[in-house]
Chain A
Amino acid sequence: MMDFPTLIQILDSTVRLGVPLLLACLAGLYSERAGVFDIGLEGKMLMAAFFSGAIAAVTGSAWLGLLAGIAGSMSLAVVHGLAAITFRGNQLISGVAVNFLASGFTVLIAQSWFHEGGRTPALMSGGRFGPIILPGAEALREVPVLGPIYYELLSGHSILVYVAFACVPLTWWVLFRTRFGLRLRAVGENPAAVDTAGVSVVRLRYSAIAIAGLLCGLAGTYLAISLSAGFGKEMTGGRGFIALAALIFAKWRPVPALGATMLFGFLEAIANRYQNIDLGIVVLPVQFMQALPYILTVIILAGFVGKAIPPRAGGEPYVKER
């Protein structure tokens, strides 16, 4: 059904398509572990995609684009923080607002700055994060089996891909091996206890939201100036929601988040490559493959296959006792 070079190609696109999901999923993980629901991942990614694309186009520097992307994502994180933490509003409604804000704002500004129908100008190579060839990749290229795996699959990605993968063990370490991580998880389960211990719930939740903003900034930047050569209208295309699905799939844990996002990236890679998949007995249409991440998430949420239990204080604004 599939030969080796094809498999390598599909796995390679799995990595490329899985990385923005991974970054956004980890963003959601920090936020939700601290007890703040975040359905605004999509919006923050979109904002980052636009600002990174725009600034990289104007300055010709991918690094300045990255900074601008993070700043764009952070600005929405602050809006979410004000609504969800400071003013104790409904976190879900705030997330919805963040998504629409990004969806409208990016096109409005893109049109006003560049007059290209809501896109940013196509980037030259300097404005993009180019591939990094790992040491020895060229030399090992001709080695059977291992050569293509090393050269095509592991080597030749942009720096953001390697950063994303490094974020997985880092997140695990921060959450489960540092005092900050312990407090962060505690504030998502029982904020009153954290408050009693003399630690500021508000500051912890803002830190979590800021980290989420940073990671969504990386995700959006990757989409706009690494995977593509510029920002396009609605270019996140629901990836923020797939990341949210992956977060539930991974039950709010960093290492399974890697597995879930790569699985969903794999499904997307397959759906991009094949129109229909003939399994012999049934033919799976491409629309089924596209819907599969969402269907799997609903099944997981239903708790028939290992129940996903969210952080207990998720979605609840914390009101200090007087």
Chain B
Amino acid sequence: MRQTGSVLSVNGVTKRFGGLVAVDNLSFDVAEHEVMGIIGPNGSGKTTMMNMISGSFKPTAGAISMKGARISDLPAQEIARRGVGRTFQLVRLLPSLSVLENVVAGAVFGHRKRWGRDAEDQAHRMLERVGLEAMAYAPISALTYIDQKRLELARVLAGEPEILLLDEWLAGLNPTEMETGIELIHDLRREGRTIILVEHVMDAIRSLCDRCVVMSSGAKIAEGTPEDVLSDREVIRAYLGDDDA
């Protein structure tokens, strides 16, 4: 086991949108160097949970803390500065900036603040890291879908986050791209990064995650190694319905 202590704790977090309970009293811990998967059927509240960790939403109740300090009251930019980096479910790039500048954006204001030459060098390193160095001076419009995803990842990595949130980073990729994508996340895992990922691709979950939290209708219905949770009757029922369980 690579766990050495909890970096992020989610404690009894609930999120209500009017009458809808999107996340219901959810608790889990993420240890350092751990890859934690959040899985569950569509609409089960996974992305809402990610949005609360990154500070896009404030929890209605409960608390999220990072290394013992409460972060759930902080604005998103403060959480980012403390070292939580995220990608978005639908890729978000800065279209009027060049590929390189998109990555520089992550380096300049992020967890470690860089500027000028230093930030550019960091951006080049990150582009190389995700295999996009050749496109450094291209416009955003020249990128294919997986390259856009790579670029977004490079931007996040440039800020040297301590916790990396990947929201369906593999979604929408074709089978070849998927292989490349999984390999890339594997590399990040080997570097010993702490990663929380929301994913639908089961192969990716099996090979990437140390542990999984399974959500259904906003609540946690299982937690454990991918192997255990994916054979859990409750989980199968949530995904496939009562008849198949």
Chain A partners chain B: no
User: What is the interface of chain A, defined by CB distance below 8 A to chain B?
Assistant: none
User: What is the interface of chain B, defined by CB distance below 8 A to chain A?
Assistant: none
